[in-house]
Structure formats: structure tokens, C-alpha cells
Amino acid sequence: MFYREAGDFKTSYREDNQTFPIRFDRMGFYATLAVAFGVIPLVIDDYWANAVFVPFLIYAIAAIGLNILVGYAGQVSLGTGGFMAVGAYAVYKLMTAFPDVPVFIHVLLAGGVTAAVGVLFGLPSLRIKGFYLAVATLAAQFFLVWLFNKVPWFYNYSASGQITAPDRSMFGVFVTGAQTSATAKYMFCLILLTLVALVARNLTRGTIGRKWMAIRDMDIAAEIIGVNPLTTKITAFAVSSFFIGIAGALFFSVYLGAAEVGEAFGINKSFLILFMVIIGGLGSIFGSFAGAAFLVLLPVFLKNVLVGGLGWPTDLAAHIELMIVGGLIIVFLIAEPHGLAQLWRVAKEKLRLWPFPH
């Protein structure tokens, strides 16, 4: 009986359109922020940072970016790994060329570079869509990986072909490099994720977001009522690539520390982010969080249960993970296309009506 709208009165349009209209939801959101910013940094260690929290935060940023393009704007993309590589190599070149500039600025600039590249590869969306657009973005994935492999300038002519993040600090605390603590990694990624989620949420429920959804639902009808498909699609590619570039910059500089483009940003990375969006829920910011959490926690859970508890071989556990993810994608596409986010919405509606049947 605690999840109710009774007594929760709205006295302005602003209150009526807020992200969490029910007081209990707002309390839960603020409690989650309090735990994320106030409790976890005090108890986190290297294992939890590297195995769970940091990859979850980074993948959530990437999933939000892809969800804007696929879920809200309806433009298919299979080049997420390549765009993450653009962000990674951009932040590497910026960090080595301008060591005195704060790394936070470098990450944002890397997102800007990725947005420009995303707009370039998003131009075909003005003429093609569906399967053909998916093939075009897949070509972008392979081309970008090939480019970063074959042009030595991008990895500063390193003999190994790898890029390594230098030590950089903010306010006297290292956030990249070998000296970075688990708390610093976590807080740096958490702050960027919070900013990205707030921007994405406000974009998707504003004028730009309504244009994206109009193009997604029926582009011809949207054009008839005055929505410009050129600016709308290009904006979707730019915003999506900006967020994905930030995720790629963090994935390289904060999480990995050193990377080789084929290993870290191959086609598997593109499919992983796409699976997060499908399982979490298309067209939902919460779904991006849910999908990222699920696919980050699933390997950790299976490794601890199957390998640590039952003593199964590691390769067998990895294959079982792929089988589970593939089966879940099929189930969600058939039974619940809107993913975990829709299941959460249905559960909340039932709580609002409980114990009444209707």
C-alpha cells in the first residue's frame, strides 16, 4: 500500500512533467544517488571496481548513446565499437599532445571528435534505412578499426601498435594511469554517467526527442508535419556518437589503461552494446542502465557459480554465457520487445493497483 499517488498533488505543469511524478520514485532515486556517491566510494576495492562498477558505468554511457540512435530515432547501427575506438584514440592523442589540460576536458573533446565522425558516417541515413543502414554502419566499424591499425600516427608510432594512457590527475587525484585508485576510477566514471544520463533524459523528452521519435515511428508522416529529416537524423547520430565517444575514452583511459584497437573495440564490442540495449529496452534510459547491469553482472555471476562453486572449466562457462545471452535476446524480441524496462513499468503499475485486481 506504500506505492500510491494518493495525496501526491501537482500544482504546476513542471511538477506534472517531472521525470519521477510519484514521491516514492523520487525518494528511491535520491536514495540511489546517495548510496552511489556517498557509500560505495568508501567501501569499493580494486576487484569490485574493475569487475563490476567501472565497466557497468562505462557500458551504461555507451548503451545510452546507442539507445538514442536505435531506440529513440529508429536508426540501426552496428558500428558502436568503431565509434568507441574513435573516442579512445582521440583522448589518447589529446592527453599526449596537451598534458596540462584536465583529462575531463580531454574526454569531452574526444566525445566531440566522435560526434563529428558519427555525423560523417550518418549521412547515408538520409538515403537508406533498415538493413542497408546497418550494413553501412558495419562498414564504418571495420573501416575505423583498419584505420587505427594501419596509420601509425594514431598510436604515436609505437612499435607494439598499442596505446597506453599516461598518468593524469584532477584536483591532485590520479584518474588515469597505474597510480589510479579504485575510488578515483569509480567517481570519475560516475560523475560523467550522471551528467550523460541527465542530458539524455532531458533531450529525449524535449523537442529534439519528439522529433527523433516522430522519425522513428513514420518518417514520411513526420516530414509532412514539418519535421526536418536531415537535421533530425544527423542530430541523433551526433548526440549518440558523442556519448559513445565518451564511453570509449573512459574505457581506454580509466578502465583498460592500454589497448589495441582490434582486441578492445572489435565487432564483438558493437554487438555487446546492442545486446544491452535490446535486453534493457529500446527507447528507455532506464533500459540502458538495466541492460548494462545485466550483461556486466552475468559473466561475474556465472564465473563465481560455475567456475568457483562447481569447478567447471572457464571456457565452458564462457560458452554457457553466450547461450544464455542469445536465448534471452530471442525471448525478449518475441515475448517482450521493450525489454527489462517494460517489465519494470508493468511491475510498478501492478504495485500502484495492488491489492485491487483492476
Read off the pLDDT of residues 75-104 as tens digits, 9 standing for 90 and up. 989 999 999 999 999 999 999 999 889 999
Q: Residue 6 pLDDT more than 80?
A: no
**Cell output for 301:** 555471476
Ramachandran region of residue 220, left (φ > 0), alpha (ψ -120 to 50) or beta? Answer: alpha
What does residue 162 show for φ and ψ, rounded to 5 degrees?
A: -95, 160
**Cell output for 176:** 588515469
**Cell output for 43:** 567501501
Q: Residue 1 pLDDT more than 60?
A: no
* Cα–Cα dist 198/200, whole Å: 6
**Cell output for 211:** 522529433
* Cα–Cα dist 128/309, whole Å: 50
Peptide bond before 357: cis, by omega within 30 degrees of 0? no
Band the pLDDT of 219: cuts 50, 70, 90.
confident
Helix 285-302 vs helix 267-280: crossing angle, to nearest 10:
120
Residue 144: predicted pLDDT = 94
Band the pLDDT of 158: cuts 50, 70, 90.
confident
Residue 252: predicted pLDDT = 93
Which secondary-structure segment (H or E) carries 325? helix 314-335
Give the angle subtended at the CA of 116 by the CAs of 111 and 118, to the nearest 5°.
Answer: 90
The DSSP symbol for 144 reads: H
Q: What is the rounded average pLDDT of the residues 294-299? A: 89
Q: What 3-state class would DSSP assign to 99?
A: coil
Summarised one tens digit per residue, pLDDT across range 10-47 is: 777 777 777 777 777 788 889 999 999 999 999 998 98
Summarised one tens digit per residue, pLDDT across range 243-259 is: 999 999 999 999 988 88
Average pLDDT, the chain: 89
Least confident span in 2-6, 10-14, 243-247, 328-332: 2-6
- Contacts of residue 162, defined as CB under 8 A and 6 or more positions apart, other chains included, come to 155, 258, 259, 260
Summarised one tens digit per residue, pLDDT across range 195-214 is: 999 999 999 988 999 999 99
CB atoms within 10 A of CB 75: 24
Check if the beta carbon of residue 209 is closer than 8 Å to that of residue 203: yes
Residue among 199, 237, 196 at smallest CA distance from 114: 237
* Cα–Cα dist 330/321, whole Å: 14
Q: Which residues of 53-67 are buried (b: 16+ CB within 10 A; e: fewer)?
A: bbbbbbbbbbbbbbb
Measure Cα distances from 47 to 51, 52, 92, 169 in Å: 6, 8, 25, 22
- Contacts of residue 125, defined as CB under 8 A and 6 or more positions apart, other chains included, come to 75, 133, 136, 233, 237
* Cα–Cα dist 32/236, whole Å: 29
Residue 32: predicted pLDDT = 92
CB atoms within 10 A of CB 10: 12
The residue among 354 and 290 whose pLDDT is bigger is 290
